[in-house]
Amino acid sequence: MDHRLRCVGSIPKVSFLLLLSLLLFSFVDAAFDLATIPFNDGYSTLFGDSNVVRSADGYGAQLLLDRFTGSGFISSNMYHYGFFSARIKLPSNYTAGICVAFYTSNGDVFEKSHDELDFEFLGNIAGKPWRFQTNLYGNGSTNRGREERYRLWFDPTKEYHRYSILWTAKNVIFYVDEVPIREVLRSEEMGGDYPSKPMSLYSTIWDASNWATSGGKYKVNYKYAPFVTEFKDLVLKGCPADPIQEIFDLNSCSDQYEDLEAQDYAVITPTRRLAMRRFRQRYMYYSYCYDTLRYNVPPPECVIVPSEKQRFKETGRLRFGGSHRRQSRRKGRTTTPAVDTDEGDM
């Protein structure tokens, strides 16, 4: 598998106002208590050596994309279940055609039956916001994409924000800061589609000109290079495991599974669930669960939430205007953005 093959799909052309404030999620619990590790202790260069720049304090790194190469890093260990997290600041200004990915995978080891959990950030032309998607594959389920696409409630180029992937035997949670934005509960019916083999953590920046922004209409413009993504406060928590061993020793991991599931971030408290619902109702503009053209019957892990579903047409595209616009009118609120005409391009 080509580790740079990220960010499949295109992003919509329509702009929107990035107005909603941090206030929206300000009631969410305080930051996670996390142990961060020095870059060199946990990671090594994946490609584009000269464009992986360690920070002076040793705890962070920059990934650069210039006209010669993108770059990437990979965790030195593979982990069986874990919490993978970093504070990331994305490149600013004109970033059309650029893809930044933060993901777990074992595609280098299991070419035909790999597992994967993704954050994929898609750059945009100047003045237009980044978008991102999450996705999940298990045991080589590449013909069953499980993409969701979203906007953010802040400008990810201005400050560092934490992006995290929790992966346990029971569930997967994607977090942006302390807001859970997506939870996948493992169900029996998912079978091998639920990621279950040890994975490494990867992060990459690369030129995805062919399709990343408005279906390839906007290419990477190297006049603005180098494009710099900054990482710090890296977290790798999980049971280091060697997937090549026929049966890796799961017993030796059991304490670590228990510890992982006992962490604060492993539990979606009622407050966090409310934040998740709000996020999804306002910022999610595509979910495979509502794309009935693609999936006649939604895949088994899909939880159909009526207030989410009504945002989408049968095609899975966002309805014109989005439901939150109507809702805000109904509530007579004037502080909510009046513009939300995103079409969730596939």
Question: DSSP letter at 228?
Answer: E
- Which residue out of 111, 120, 189, 301 is catalytically annotated? 120
Q: Which is nearer to ligand NAG, 45 or 209 (CB)?
A: 209
Longest dimension (CA), the chain: 61
* Site membership for ligand NAG, residue 300 (CB under 6 A): no
Could you give the count of Cα atoms lying within 13 Å of 68 in the half-sphere of its Cβ?
A: 6
| The binder of ligand NAG chosen from 21, 44, 93, 315 (CB under 6 A) | 93
Would you tell me the crossing angle of helices 270-283 and 322-330 to the nearest 10 degrees?
A: 110
Conformation bin of residue 22: beta by default, left when phi > 0, alpha when psi is -120 to 50: alpha
* Site membership for ligand NAG, residue 187 (CB under 6 A): no
Q: By rule CB under 6 A, what count of residues binds ligand NAG?
A: 9
116 belongs to the catalytic site: yes
What CA–CA distance (Å, rounded) separates 306 from 202? 35
Closest separation in Å from C-beta 198 to ligand NAG: 14
258 belongs to the catalytic site: no
**In the stretch 109-138, what mask flags binding to ligand NAG with x, by CB under 6 A?**
---xx------------x------------
C-alpha distances out from residue 334 to 32, 238, 305, Å: 33, 45, 26
Q: Which is nearer to ligand NAG, 140 or 322 (CB)?
A: 140
Residue whose beta carbon is closest to ligand NAG: 192
Closest separation in Å from C-beta 302 to ligand NAG: 19
Nearest to 81 by CA among 195, 181, 174: 195
Closest separation in Å from C-beta 342 to ligand NAG: 22
Closest separation in Å from C-beta 296 to ligand NAG: 22
C-alpha distances out from residue 4 to 40, 169, 198, Å: 22, 27, 20
Interaction site with ligand NAG (CB under 6 A): 93-94, 112-113, 126, 139-140, 191-192
Q: Which active-site residues does the annotation give?
A: 116, 120
